[in-house]
């Protein structure tokens, strides 16, 4: 099987531009990056599906090609196109709703609660409960103090 290097370069450019746009803060730029990356992956699936071939229908006559075309790659690409169009419509609806609600640009801002979670210390970790030593953070022999003392006891 031969692969067209020029199309592989086009795939690489589409995916890399898509990833670059996905890292932006604007919702529209993120959507464009998602669409560019999706089109690059679709083109990669076309390349992976092989070269041109006869229609994969039993009973077709007039064979022009030596082999049959692979219908799986075509079906996956058609499904990906439908999903990406639905996703694009959904994200554009979200962007429009955000614009009408706030009348500002479409930049995604940092969530203040997420920033608080990132800055909190080890003592406030959700992995710690009352069984952890408050000084060292190690689990003590006190057991789980939220439930009954024994597993056989009923609450």
Residue 10 DSSP label: H
pLDDT at 21: 93
Sign of CA dihedral 92, 98, 101, 105: negative
Q: Could you report the per-residue pLDDT of 11-30, keeping only the tens digit for each?
A: 999 999 999 999 988 888 88
pLDDT at 141: 63
| Contact residues for 108 (Cβ-Cβ < 8 A; gap 6+) | 25, 26, 27, 30
pLDDT at 82: 94
* Residues of the chain predicted below pLDDT 50: 147-155
pLDDT at 150: 47
pLDDT at 98: 80
- For the chain, the average pLDDT equals 76
For 26, phi then psi, to 5°, come to -85, 135
pLDDT at 110: 73
Output the pTM of the full model. 0.60
pLDDT at 18: 94
* Residue 107 β-bridge partners: 26
pLDDT at 42: 92
């Amino acid at each position: 099987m031969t692969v067209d290097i020029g199309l592989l370069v086009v795939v690489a450019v589409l995916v890399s531009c898509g990833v670059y746009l996905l890292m932006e803060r604007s919702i529209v730029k993120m959507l464009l990056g998602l669409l560019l990356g999706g089109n690059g992956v679709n083109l990669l699936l076309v390349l992976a599906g092989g070269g041109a071939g006869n229609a994969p229908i039993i009973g077709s006559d007039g064979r022009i090609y030596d082999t049959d075309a692979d219908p799986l790659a075509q079906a996956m690409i058609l499904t990906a196109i439908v999903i990406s169009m639905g996703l694009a419509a959904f994200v554009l609806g979200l962007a429009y709703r955000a614009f009408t609600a706030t009348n500002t640009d479409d930049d995604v801002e940092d969530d203040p609660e997420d920033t608080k979670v990132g800055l909190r210390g080890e003592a406030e970790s959700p992995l710690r409960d009352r069984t952890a030593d408050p000084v060292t953070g190690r689990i003590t022999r006190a057991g789980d103090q939220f439930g009954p003392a024994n597993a056989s006891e009923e609450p």
